[in-house]
Structure 1
Amino acid sequence: MGDDTNRKEVKGPVDDRGCTDILCFIIFVACFIYMIVLACMGFANGNPLALTSVFDASGKCCGNICDRYPEMEDYKYLFFPVPDKDYLYDYNVCVKDCADQEEDSNMECYGTDDPSLNPNTQTCTDNCPARDPYYYQQQMYFKANGISSDSAKQSSLENTFCTYKTNVLLDRVCFPDAEFFDSLGDYADNVKNSLTSVVDTDALQSYVDSITEGWPIILASVFIAMLCGFVYLLYVRLCVGVIIWCSIIVYHLLIIALAVLCLQKASDYENESPPNTQDADNQKIIAYILFGCLGVSIIILCCLYSKIKLAIGILKTAANYVGDVKSALFVSPVFSLVTAAFWFLWIIGFVYIFSWGDVEKRSGSVFGEVMWADGVEGYIWFYLFMGLWVNAFIQACCQFVLVSCPCIWYFAQPDTDNMHAPVYTSLKRCFRYHLGSLAFGSLLVAIIQMIRIILAYIEQQSKKTGWGDKQPMKCLLKYMQCMAACFERFIKFINKNAYIEIAMQGRNFCSAAKEALRILWNNAGRATIINGIGGIFIFIGEILIAIGCTLICYLILTNVEPYNEYSPFFPCLLIFIISYTIGVLFMSVYGNGIDAIFLCFCHDEENARGRGMEAPEHCPEELRSFFKDKVQPKQDAQAAKLNQVQATNN
């Protein structure tokens, strides 16, 4: 992709750098401030309680959450006199308190003194036929069997509010207690089971006790998972070459074994009486195809030998980097906490903005819905986009630090003792010089993520109108969503490699992305193999860290007192989730190290071409064999540097 002879030689991350993509950072700050302004406007005008508002049969808002019925201020709970689906929407009333007593008692509800306020003559009483659970049982029996109930009793039921024991749901609805359904007998078994079988209280208490007693082991699992990660990287450093070459050999041996088996099967068919020539020929054809695949595989292996060898060297070098720069392991957890804190605050603001408007009763429901004020829908879309942008920006900052550290480590070889705080240096360069470039890259990610959300929204709306069920429309939307997802992965790939170039050369985003693409294009075969092999080892590492940590903690929980007195299931499940999360964060450092070290090596190789492939002084030990001249050992390099200083002084 162009002539490399006139390109500036890259000798490591430059110290003399300036601010990049300042305009994009200014736009980001302005949009961020506007997002905060929208959140403040939401706090002033929104009412999150409106999202859980309930309405009685007359259409009045219980508790006056919608600020239109001051007389309902004290009646904030919705009560269902007849807990049957046919009566839920048309036969309910707002009450001051939910009934929790087992004995008959009056329950104060709105409208009892003025029956004209409601379409039915609704009263609260402690003396009605429906207070007896048998009456509810009878009504449910009649409904289940299609039998008309006594008209007098039915009329009494529809014009009387009768109390029963309830629980408060969402701080808005008086929901029937399980004991009430239990009193109805067999006719309410389905309802009863749906309420009482969801949670096994004894098992839940056992899980809570096991977590309460096992919390020291759960806390220790964080450090055990990190220890497992270091053990895995040591294993990769020592055995990755053996594993890869053994896997390749086993693959070829399996092809040979299958081909020989097919030939043997063909011979058996030929020896039958009479000979089965058709099946024998089929087996021979399969064997010849397998031998052909074997030959092609061997040719490909010969062509890719040096690339596989380089991939092994890169994986070993990245493992050494993580072992030398252990502080990089804390970068991902810290930024993850920042991301979690941002989303927590963002969700609060979103709820307030979303509830900005008037509350109306939802059709076919006792709950209300917010009718947004003018302009609120646009505010919501902008606020959503800014949430995506800020989230992508935080991730970009984290990724920049993770790819900058291995660049600093790589070009500090072989004298890593004089390497000055790579994490601190990377953070300083990130926040002092390159926030604009990171805002640029994160903007691209946020735009494509917003497009995916819009496509999902269009799909949902099209299903409501019936267009979404038509096959052409369905295929078109799925195709567009698939393309958007692929493009998002491509943008993230470009961003990561652009950040590596920014970390090394201090470029702006566009020129860094162009340079990264040039290098990757010139080394496409290498990059493919390294990403493929590296991805496999990263995935295996995440799983092994989680399994290894969980197994160690399980042995402790089942063999050490007092932990062995409780069930280890729930603590182990929680430990697996924690250790897998630690494994993902741990291996993200390793994965970014692989990508950054590969680009550093490509720069080294380009620089070495002008010196007849003489190995650079800072080339890591595992990568020296790819240059003609070996790099001096660390002690020799330090001695040579000392001799040079002495000669200069003399």
Structure 2
Amino acid sequence: MGHKIVQDLSNSWPYIVGALVVAMLLCLIYIFLMRWFAGFMVWLSLFSVVGLLSYCCYASYMKYDELGRAGGDSDSASSSSNSNSGILNQVQQEVDHILHMKYTWLVFLLISAVLLGIVLVVMLFLRNRIRIAVALIKEASKAVASIMSTLVFPLFLWVMQLLVTGWFLLVLLYLASSTHPVYKAAMDNCTCHTLSGTYEAGDRCDPDTFSICLASCPTAVCHFYGSEKEKYVNYLHAYNAFGIFWLMFFISAIGEMILASTFATWYWTFNKSNVPFFTILISTARIFRAVLCCLRCFFWCLEKFIKFISKNAYIMCAIYGKNFCRSARDAFNLLMRNVVRVFVLDKVTDFLLLLGKLAITAGICALSFHVFTHELEYKDYVNIPSLNYSIVPVVIIGVGTFFIATVFFGVYSMAVDTLFLCFLEDCERNDGSAEKPYFMSKELMKILHKKNK
């Protein structure tokens, strides 16, 4: 089975790469469309989910009723399998057997109905919160469109993470080859006595000193048996694993702080046309200066650093340039003063962005499945390879697509979180007077019944 999977991957890798490129382009198109049609796309996603869950309820009920009338718990799809059949075939037969049970579809019906009810309740009772979330997504779209370099910025993080991964693999290979050879004696019914000990068949030996045994055992041979790793290698493997995780999260944290600083600069610039052209480079320099300040007091604030580490602390640090612990405290106090609004809006915006990621992933997976199973008609010059297990490249494409969508939508997520904290701070700091005007957009002021005098 492993050989067949490798063969499938070797035949289909160009299509996998092509599908991931298409996924990246779809993410970019989706983000650009959000710039002008954020409200429409969000509500379309919500109603699409309602329609999909409604169809799942209908289809599950019809299947449950059909199997109930036909006796769906019979042995029409026996789970017995030939002992010589492959693992995947056995799994397929078990799945077929489960899908021919009427109570399976009853469970699907209940799950779909519960999810549909939750979505409808959210849409009914949180309409105003959804409106604010849509407005925040629109603001994030404006910020991203105003600073287009933020869409290219994830590529820089990818390169850094690839370098760290390459270093990890290089160290891993060196540690894996950190072994010493093992030699064992082979002799026919004789024992060799030397100053360093007695050798019998199967004992470890040293080829440099084993020649003395040839006098008493002429057919004796000290041959290479294998390699044995050094005792300290396991500890170095653990250290190497800790290193890659620490560096990966460090790079991710640096990226989040740079994006937070960039979007905060956009928000707190009253006239958006005055946003600096090299905002992301200025933010990068600002963040590295903040990192140096953190490193100066790292040892005494390590405990607080671990306790209060969070995305919101990065945002406050990027806005005000204060030290990390104070930023964490300020972010915590600000969020606690608006705990209900924070919880609802945070979950709503996360849910709305998740819908976009799932829509792109599901679309690419569905298209890939139809391509690899030859359910679509092709021209003669399109040669789709015949695979043993067509599900393998589909799964790889799905995972890769979701990862790509997560990276691109991560920019949006960071923009929304940053602008939301700026929005809360704007509400507390300003009152709409000529001396303290609101920095929020007119749409947000309209939703919250606020205005600048």
Q: Give the shorter-chain TM-score range.
A: 0.5 to 0.7
Q: Which aligned pairs between 1:383-532 and structure 2 lie closer than 5 A?
A: 383-416=240-273, 418-437=275-294, 494-532=309-347
Distance, in Å, in 1 between the alignment partners of 2:393 and 2:235 is 45
Amino acid paired to 2:355: I
Asked if the contact 1:329/1:586 (under 8 Å) is kept, the reply is: yes
Change (3 A) 1:508 1:584: same
Amino acid paired to 1:199: H
Shift of 1:499: 0.9
- Counterpart of 2:384 (choices 566, 570, 595) is 566
Match of 2:430 in 1: 608
Q: Which aligned pairs between 1:338-353 and structure 2 lie closer than 5 A?
A: 338-353=160-175
Distance, in Å, in 2 between the alignment partners of 1:213 and 1:307 is 42
Shift of 1:340: 2.4
Shift of 1:214: 8.3
Q: Does residue 588 in structure 1 map to residue 410 in structure 2?
A: yes
Change (3 A) 1:626 1:318: same
Match of 1:223 in 2: 25
Change (3 A) 1:237 1:306: closer
Match of 2:205 in 1: none
Q: Find the residue that maps to 2:415 and give its secondary structure.
A: helix
Match of 1:316 in 2: 138
Match of 2:443 in 1: 622
Distance, in Å, in 1 between the alignment partners of 2:414 and 2:349 is 10
Distance, in Å, in 2 between the alignment partners of 1:396 and 1:510 is 15
CA deviations on 1:307-348 (whole Å, 9 max, x unpaired) are 554333223322333333332122223212311211221332
Q: Find the residue that maps to 2:322 and give its secondary structure.
A: coil
Q: Which aligned pairs between 1:547-558 and structure 2 lie closer than 5 A?
A: 547-549=362-364, 558=376
Change (3 A) 1:413 1:548: farther
Match of 2:218 in 1: none
Q: Percent identity?
A: 20
Distance, in Å, in 1 between the alignment partners of 2:299 and 2:383 is 50
Match of 1:370 in 2: 229
Change (3 A) 1:440 1:341: farther
Asked if the contact 2:434/2:452 (under 8 Å) is kept, the reply is: no
Amino acid paired to 1:406: F
Amino acid paired to 1:370: K
Change (3 A) 1:369 1:333: same
Shift of 1:387: 3.5
Amino acid paired to 1:230: F
Change (3 A) 1:564 1:313: same
Q: Which aligned pairs between 1:181-330 and structure 2 lie closer than 5 A?
A: 198-200=2-4, 208-212=10-14, 219-231=21-33, 235-240=37-42, 301=125, 307-330=129-152
Distance, in Å, in 2 between the alignment partners of 1:619 and 1:522 is 19
Shift of 1:238: 2.8
Change (3 A) 1:443 1:328: farther
Distance, in Å, in 2 between the alignment partners of 1:246 and 1:561 is 33
Change (3 A) 1:434 1:218: closer
Change (3 A) 1:509 1:564: same
Distance, in Å, in 2 between the alignment partners of 1:535 and 1:441 is 32
Match of 1:539 in 2: 354
The number of equivalent residue pairs is: 339
Q: Find the residue that maps to 1:317 and give its secondary structure.
A: helix
Q: Find the residue that maps to 2:430 and give its secondary structure.
A: helix
Change (3 A) 1:223 1:555: farther
Shift of 1:589: 0.8
Change (3 A) 1:525 1:384: same
Shift of 1:427: 1.5
Distance, in Å, in 2 between the alignment partners of 1:246 and 1:204 is 37
Change (3 A) 1:628 1:335: same
| Higher Cα radius of gyration | 1
Asked if the contact 2:181/2:226 (under 8 Å) is kept, the reply is: no
Amino acid paired to 2:24: V
Q: Which aligned pairs between 1:70-149 and structure 2 lie closer than 5 A?
A: none
Q: Find the residue that maps to 2:3 and give its secondary structure.
A: coil
Amino acid paired to 2:382: N
Unaligned runs of 5+ in 1: 1-196, 252-292, 449-486, 633-650
Distance, in Å, in 1 between the alignment partners of 2:16 and 2:381 is 6
Shift of 1:226: 2.2
Match of 1:335 in 2: 157
Distance, in Å, in 1 between the alignment partners of 2:296 and 2:31 is 32
Shift of 1:620: 2.0
